[in-house]
Structure 1
């Protein structure tokens, strides 16, 4: 009995090696798990559920294959794929989770999230996040022609990458009070998230833990949890 967690793969057509590593993981590792949780930023950016690019088709097919083999897959939206919606869920068979989800992980109350909501010191990003999660704005965006949406997304990505270069290392990490508040809000003993690309297992007060998943830029970061053990490890692409 084991449960797997991954996040921040940032899959993109320009890096086929990352997609190939994902396919291997989905076919060789995930089928024997009790469940797979993808905690956001599976894609470099999700333009919309109607984007039927070859990469999106491949990823959705791999998730569908896993679910049909008997391993449930759960998906938390990240800051790069917050537009993943009901059509993606229908096509892939994955179950979409909310911003914060409490699960019973082999007897341990565990809160799952992407992690960007914990970075409250980055006030500018939090305002941007609040804006792009407005339902009416997403409705308008989804009714723009796909071709124009791709151009818009490219511009937003370029601006975000330029801005990231000027931000301090600390401001892009989680706020400890935000972590404490989230765990107390759900009565959790364990928190698992990604987003910061700083893989680690943090020991907190009262025997609590916070586990941060790594990205897949140069290696595959995988978290495996059983009733007896916790293993956060990297695998070469």
Structure 2
């Protein structure tokens, strides 16, 4: 039995090497697993479920092939694909989870999330996140013609890249106390998340005892996969 976790692929038509690695992973590895969890930022940016470009259609087809083969597939929205919704799920057979979910991972209670909500020291980002997650604003955005949405997103991405260059590195990592709070509030001893692009396995002390936090890697220079079995968890990589 194997359960796989991935995050922060940032799939884009501009990076065919990442896409090729992902499609190979889906065909050769994920198809042999019990379940696949995607913990956000699958895409560089998802502007709406009505985007049926050939590139996005190829990604949907890979997920549909996986779910039709009987592999359970779950998705948590990230900060780049928070607009991914019910239509995408219908087209692919995946299950959309809330931003924080608790699962039983081979007997270990585990909280899973994208990870951006853990970075509470980045106050400007948290304000931005609160704004763009307002349902009424998302409803308005989804009614804007697709080509205009692309222009809006391109402008926003440019601003985000510029802001990152002036941010201190420490505020873009998780806040240790927030990690403890999430672990304790969910009564778990294990956490899996992405977002920070700093793959590692950390140990934390909580009121529930010792807890493990597994950080998934990004797919900028190589594929990054967390492989979980009843015997343990392993962070692995795949060459492009």
- Is this a same-fold pair by TM over 0.5? yes
Partner residue of 1:215 out of 218, 226, 232: 218
Q: How far apart, CA to CA, are the structure 2 residues paired with 1:158 and 1:51?
A: 21
Q: How far apart, CA to CA, are the structure 1 residues paired with 2:165 and 2:188?
A: 34
Q: Map 1:184-195; keep pairs closer than 5 Å.
A: 184-195=184-195
Identify the residue that residue 54 of structure 1 maps to in structure 2.
54
Q: How far apart, CA to CA, are the structure 2 residues paired with 1:128 and 1:120?
A: 12
Q: Map 1:173-212; keep pairs closer than 5 Å.
A: 173-205=173-205, 206-212=209-215
Corresponding position: 1:233 with 2:220: no
Q: How far apart, CA to CA, are the structure 2 residues paired with 1:229 and 1:191?
A: 14
Per-residue Cα deviation, 1:38-66 (whole angstroms, up to 9, x for no partner)? 00000000010001111210111100100
Q: How far apart, CA to CA, are the structure 2 residues paired with 1:203 and 1:179?
A: 11
| Unpaired segments ≥5 residues, structure 1 | none
Identify the residue that residue 42 of structure 1 maps to in structure 2.
42
Q: How far apart, CA to CA, are the structure 2 residues paired with 1:9 and 1:54?
A: 18
Secondary structure at the counterpart of residue 73 of structure 1: strand
Q: Using structure 1 for the length normalisation, give the TM-score.
A: 0.99
Q: Map 1:3-82; keep pairs closer than 5 Å.
A: 3-82=3-82
Identify the residue that residue 167 of structure 2 maps to in structure 1.
167
Q: How far apart, CA to CA, are the structure 2 residues paired with 1:76 and 1:18?
A: 20
Q: How far apart, CA to CA, are the structure 1 residues paired with 2:132 and 2:226?
A: 30
Cα-Cα RMSD = 0.6
* Conservation of the 8 A alpha-carbon contact between 2:180 and 2:204: no
Shift in Å, 1:213: 0.2
Secondary structure at the counterpart of residue 77 of structure 2: coil
Secondary structure at the counterpart of residue 48 of structure 1: coil
Q: How far apart, CA to CA, are the structure 1 residues paired with 2:111 and 2:56?
A: 28
Per-residue Cα deviation, 1:86-128 (whole angstroms, up to 9, x for no partner)? 0001001110011100000011000000000000000000000
Q: Map 1:127-138; keep pairs closer than 5 Å.
A: 127-138=127-138
Shift in Å, 1:181: 0.8
Q: How far apart, CA to CA, are the structure 1 residues paired with 2:55 and 2:180?
A: 38
Dislocated runs of 4+, deviation >2 Å: none
Identify the residue that residue 121 of structure 1 maps to in structure 2.
121
Shift in Å, 1:207: 2.6
Q: How far apart, CA to CA, are the structure 1 residues paired with 2:51 and 2:238?
A: 30
Q: How far apart, CA to CA, are the structure 2 residues paired with 1:89 and 1:234?
A: 27
Secondary structure at the counterpart of residue 170 of structure 1: helix
